[in-house]
Amino acid sequence: MVISDLKRVKIGDHSIGEDAPVFIIAEIGINHNGSIELAKKMIDGAARAGCSAVKFQKRTPEICVPKHQRDVMRETPWGVMSYLEYRRKVEFGFDEYMEINRYCKELNIPWFASCWDVPSIEFMKQFDIPLFKISSAMLTDTSLLSNMRQTGSPVMISTGMSTAGEIEDAVNLLGEENLLIAHTTSVYPCADEELNLRMITSLKRRFPGSIIGYSGHETGLPTTIAAVAFGATFVERHITLDRAMWGTDQASSVELHGLEILVRYIRSVEKAMGDGVKKLYAGEIAAKNKMRPSMTKDQPIEMAMQ
């Protein structure tokens, strides 16, 4: 797969890139709390809202949970258990992802996943997902990046909790072809003053061969919509059935009604952006003929300039 001169990547029936409709990703992540039925309800909501894709997260708990945290006990909806046991509880396995694969095909909505370790990449390759993502937390894991690039699929990276140098290193390792870079701030939820949306334009200047977007963890909708005006060609927001549900990502997620509003407003902003070329629209011509006075050579220049 090769990016064209317009810097586009094909995902299912969608193109991501310049002059293409904004690719809107509903991240389910682990907000399903280990329930395939909750996951399917969120897939339903994303498809109904008009999202372009849904995204999950895949980890191998024995690899991703640090040793010093494995035996830490915590309260969960399933009772008190170790952190390692909890992480196993919320991970979907082969059967669940087979059902997700089937269900998304039925609804004609692509799905993909953030992979947090190399075995998770191998696991996801079974489902022929169209895109792989590297989370902000794993951006400096060179082995993970290398293995993900070797899949031959487009790769998306998030840049939260990373320095400019760490982003440069990741892009140099991955190469800009078929690379999507998401500006984000890894605070959950994130305050408006820490969103730094101008980084979208900075990333566009610094990595002209990549496709630049935005992954938001704020609580409201306006700033995600503003990211589109700053040039984000894709946006990603966590979604949930209820922000009061148990789970670390629920509070910074968008409920399904809000998701519908977000998609609708993004599409409105897309229409409003235009092409930057000054033109007279049909409605303006009628208004001009009615409202603008006719100029004659006898009128002073000052009148013509008003």
Number of domains in the chain: 1
- Domain annotation covers residue 2: no
Q: What is the pLDDT of residue 13?
A: 85
For the residues of 28-80, what is the DSSP string, one character each? Answer: EETTTTT-HHHHHHHHHHHHHHT-SEEEEEE--HHHHS-HHHHT-EEEETTEE
- Tell me, yes or no, whether 153 lies in a domain: yes
Among candidate residues 290, 147, 145, 135, the one with its CA nearest the CA of residue 217 = 135
CA distance linking residue 156 with residue 204, whole number of Å: 15
Q: What is the pLDDT along the chain (306 residues), one digit of tens a residue?
A: 334 456 889 888 899 998 899 999 999 999 999 999 999 999 999 999 999 999 999 999 999 999 999 999 999 989 999 999 999 999 999 999 999 999 999 999 999 999 999 999 999 999 999 999 999 999 999 999 999 999 999 999 999 999 999 999 999 999 999 999 999 999 999 999 999 999 999 999 999 999 999 999 999 999 999 999 999 999 999 999 999 998 889 999 999 999 999 999 999 999 999 888 999 898 888 888 888 887 555 544 444 444
- Say how far apart CA 53 and CA 55 lie, in whole Å: 7
Is residue 283 a part of any domain in this protein?
no
For residue 173, which of 135, 140, 209, 215 has the smallest C-alpha distance? Answer: 140
Q: In this structure, is residue 290 part of a structural domain?
A: no
The CATH number assigned to the domain holding 262 equals 3.20.20.70
The range of the structural domain enclosing residue 147 comes to 8-277
For residue 306, the model assigns a pLDDT of: 44
pLDDT at 8: 87
Residue 3 belongs to a domain = no
Query: Residue 72 falls within a domain, yes or no?
Result: yes
Threshold 0.75, pTM exceeds: yes
Residue 282 belongs to a domain: no
CB 240 within 8 A of CB 45: no
199, part of any domain: yes
SS3 208: coil
